[in-house]
Amino acid sequence: MRLPTQRSRRRSTAAAALVAATVLGIFLPSTAQAQLTGSAGSSGGGVSGTQAAPRAALPGWREIFVDDFTTDAPIGTFANDECNNPGKIVYTGTENTRWRTYPECYLDTYNKNPYRADEVVSAHDGVLDYYLHDVDGRRAGANMSPVINGSSQAQVYGRYSARIKVSHPAITGYRLAMLLWPDSEGWPEEGEINFPEGPLTGPIYGFHHYAEDGADANSQALSDVDTSTYADWRVVTIEWTPSVVRFMLDDKVLLESTRGIPDTAMRWQLQLESSLYPALGGGNFLVDWVTVHAWDGA
């Protein structure tokens, strides 16, 4: 497991301008300010619109991990205060799915706030719930990762999909990065695949960091930018094969990148953390289901 502080880096000028354009929720609906008090709170409240994870066979892929979060686990279950034991299993799902989380001593990217899965994450009503709020006076997020192959979180090539939403559209001061990170910690030369990444207010986009000799933090492709939000359920998917990195939002392709395809094992991190921008209100980031597939050579 890497320390999250290693992921602090400069973005390209275009990417920095894109992120700056969303400060304080330029893409927020006009009703957002009225909804600042609409956070579902620590329990997440009732959750509507959930669905069973898709199980249909996909040509070229082999399903290896599915979690519908039907095993309830209250806040506190996901705690890991063992800095020297990042491999601790903090959650076991109904189908013996297993999850790890960054320990509390790991710090987030921009503000160096501790990850606090012990005060943030729960499972209820068929969702994995990140309750984003201040803990001990600091904005707290969490970074979860599924164990997909024996005791390993990593594989070479794969398809990663999740159905996600926010409890209300004005969760500012927090950002999402669902990312594939090199298991060897060989960044940036071994690449990085981030989708979606950015503020929870939207827009929705991602980055493919090229795996190539001499790569730096700005050796990357920025996806198309979708100006919609996470206010309704969205399905986000990364497809990583030897020939292409593809990002899909619902049925829309936002990126097909063929340069610098990573070819070493990577692990999937579902990272919610504090951003550089002010927090007008917290709330809940909800994951309805996740699926992981291995590439079958198609």
Between the alpha carbon of residue 193 and those of residues 86, 189, 211, the distances in Å are: 22, 12, 10
pLDDT in tens, 5-20: 434 333 443 344 344 4
Indicate if the pLDDT at residue 94 is higher than 50.
yes
- Model-level pTM greater than 0.75? yes
Q: Both ends of the chain: CA-CA distance in Å?
A: 30
Least confident of 2-16, 94-108, 235-249: 2-16
At 172, the pLDDT band (50, 70, 90 cuts) reads very high
Is the Cβ–Cβ distance between 217 and 202 less than 8 Å?
no
pLDDT at 42: 60
Q: Determine the average pLDDT of the residues in 250-262.
A: 98
Q: Which segments within the chain are labelled E, that is strand?
A: 61-67, 91-92, 98-101, 121-124, 127-135, 138-140, 142-147, 154-155, 158-166, 174-182, 192-199, 205-209, 220-222, 234-240, 245-249, 252-257, 266-274, 283-295
Longest dimension (CA), the chain: 50
Average pLDDT, the chain: 88
Indicate if the pLDDT at residue 38 is higher than 80.
no
pLDDT at 25: 44
pLDDT in tens, 181-197: 999 999 999 999 999 99
* Residue type at 294 in one-letter notation: A
- Where residue 35 falls (left for φ over 0; alpha for ψ -120 to 50; beta otherwise) is alpha
